[in-house]
Structure 1
Amino acid sequence: MQGVRISADRYKVLYAGSAGALSTLPFQALCEAGFCPCAVVVDAGSDALAQRQALPVVTEGADTLPALALANELPLLRLSADAHEAAGQISRYAPDIMIVSCFARRLPEAVCAVPRLGCFNLHPSLLPAFRGPSPVFWQFHEGVNPMGVTLHRMSAQLDAGDIVAQTTVTMADGISLQQAGRLLAEAGGRLLVEALSRYGQGKWKGHAQREEQSSYQGFPTQADYAVSTDWPAQRLFNFMRATCGPGIVYPCLVDGRAFRLVEALRFQASGTARFCVQGDQLVLPCCPGFVHARFLTE
């Protein structure tokens, strides 16, 4: 990837995202650091309530990009689903750079080709590992810690463009997906500010991803919540604690018996324990360690 020279006070940034922390917190970090975008881009199919209102209602603590755009007196662009029309919408702002973080859908190549210096995406994993739409879920599923955030150039292949910057984030045991997402979003905001500062000072360099180290995972299905006592206890506990919620069940086969786990209570990372069941709770011997969990009895 060739370095690009630009002037800090002469480039225009568009910011595209959605409603979650992985979109809103990096946007707020940019504004607080003086890199306020020239406009905010959201999907035309999202935030239907706001579309029906003549003026968005902003309340204290509002955490959607439309609300934040209004609070910062920035234009809000609802991007058309039609690629040609969307490219025209973006072109009207004549952006130098477009920053994308958790946009509601994949941007067409016609849109990515508009910004003079390119489109760049914040992705919540250490690429090239865990490409795809649900990287935080899959990092918990695989027991990855630390996790991380990558700023990369967008390319025709999803999450496969040149890496500009990366940072790691260590997760505490028992953290939820929402808490992990917020930590990754905060780290992503810092990473983005640092990268844009380097961009304004001269050359922004990147390096190609190593395809032999890449992995891709899609949206999780019900079958992907199955857990195994072959896992380390820490992995099993943290995966369940991160992803638990109403209606979520974790199938687990122990000594030929099928259990439907619903809550991880505590764990020991090392040592051994005998498998036992008492009421709606059980002890799961793992490799290594053991987990105390609750299961459905009916």
Structure 2
Amino acid sequence: MSPLRVIFAGTPEFAAHHLQALLDSRHQVVAVFTQPDRPAGRGKKLQASPVKTLALSQNLPVHQPTHLKTPDDQALIEQYQADVMVVVAYGLLLPKAVLDLPRLGCINVHASLLPRWRGAAPIQRAIQAGDSETGVTIMQMDVGLDTGDMLAISRCPIGPTTTAAELHDTLWPIGCPALIDTLDQLANNAVKPVPQDHDKANYAHKLTKEEAQIDWRQPAANIDRLIRAFNPFPVAFTLLGEERVRLWQASLITETAAVAPGTIALAEQSGSKSRLVVACGEGQLALTSVQLPGKKALAIADLLAGNHAKFAEGIQFISAEPVNE
């Protein structure tokens, strides 16, 4: 089997893991495309993506176009005479002219069991929807949004306490070998594409900070899933007066409290057994990791030690307004 000449396109940490797997394989990465540097941190200094940082450390050619629509952009890709382009969480749409440039086309590593979640946030939306499993799909790209034929699927369960951060760290280790195996099969002309069932597709909308605000009138199970799906970004929050309180972790209580949703039903300060329980529309949530403005996230024992009056029983959080679909 001859090694393939690969152009890699990706941006975040999830993509960087797959680039590393490619670098460790027999295939040859000839160029890397990634998003332009973005301002980050309090100083808003330009920061390179994880993919760019890795590529530069390996002395790979790095390109950061704002789009791939112009003839110059496409000529840049064509000059590398790649057999295949591997796309992992790149963040730019590939026009048909680009999809057709590599000899074997473009393939995508997508963090969902397609067609279940297409789009920008499949990891988070799977948790939020209460899915019991997810996985990684290697897909032949076409002009649609995550609509191409499936080349490989790797599955994993979603546990009842799994956060998006944890699921991210579970998915890339199964995505990397699936990618390399698919490239090996492409090199041997041994892939067997499987069309998607488009009737089963859902769109995983990009996360917004606005939807991270908790509506305590919702069932506790829904709020628990939102908290887990939005950890580590954008982090679920609630309002206590005018203060934005971020909720990193919680656990479900099935019994419904006899107080209004959003009310602190129990604030018990007892060392490692401290508890802060909030009433929901159905059931309750025991908060386990909470962050006050300008502070780090705290376990409930530490939170109550310095803020017991603020989080006393009977205090009520402000619910988000319900979203009209």
TM-score (norm 2): 0.70
CA contact (8 A) 1:21 1:185 kept: no
RMSD of aligned Cα (Å):
3.2
Tell me what 2:206 maps to: 219
- Tell me, in whole angstroms, the C-alpha distance in 2 between the residues paired with 1:227 and 1:192: 40
Tell me what 1:266 maps to: 251
Look up the SS of the partner of 1:29 in the other structure: helix
Tell me what 1:138 maps to: 125
The range that moved more, 30-39 or 91-100, is: 30-39
- Tell me, in whole angstroms, the C-alpha distance in 2 between the residues paired with 1:117 and 1:66: 24
- Report how far residue 114 of structure 1 moved: 0.8
CA contact (8 A) 1:30 1:193 kept: yes
Partner residue of 1:26 out of 18, 41, 60? 18
**Are 1:85 and 2:72 matched, yes or no?**
yes
**Are 1:278 and 2:274 matched, yes or no?**
no
Tell me what 1:15 maps to: 8
- Tell me, in whole angstroms, the C-alpha distance in 2 between the residues paired with 1:285 and 1:296: 13
Partner residue of 1:188 out of 172, 175, 178? 175
Tell me what 2:37 maps to: 46
Tell me what 2:105 maps to: 118
Rg larger in 1 or in 2?
2
Q: Which runs of 5+ in 2 are unaligned?
A: 41-46, 260-264, 268-275, 291-314, 319-325
TM-score (norm 1): 0.76
Question: Which structure would you say has the larger RCO, counting Cα contacts within 8 Å and 6 or more residues apart?
Answer: 1
- Report how far residue 122 of structure 1 moved: 0.9
AA in 2 matched with 1:292:
A
- Report how far residue 196 of structure 1 moved: 1.6
**Equivalences for 1:224-263 in 2 at 5 Å?**
226=214, 231=219, 233=221, 236-244=223-231, 248-249=236-237, 262-263=246-247
The range that moved more, 198-207 or 154-163, is: 198-207
- Report how far residue 192 of structure 1 moved: 0.4
CA contact (8 A) 1:275 1:285 kept: no
Partner residue of 2:86 out of 89, 99, 102? 99
Look up the SS of the partner of 2:183 in the other structure: helix
C-alpha distance 95-175 of structure 1, shift in aligned 2 (>3 A): same
- Report how far residue 296 of structure 1 moved: 6.2
C-alpha distance 157-275 of structure 1, shift in aligned 2 (>3 A): farther
- Tell me, in whole angstroms, the C-alpha distance in 2 between the residues paired with 1:105 and 1:75: 18
Look up the SS of the partner of 1:37 in the other structure: strand
Q: How many residues align?
A: 265
- Report how far residue 87 of structure 1 moved: 0.8
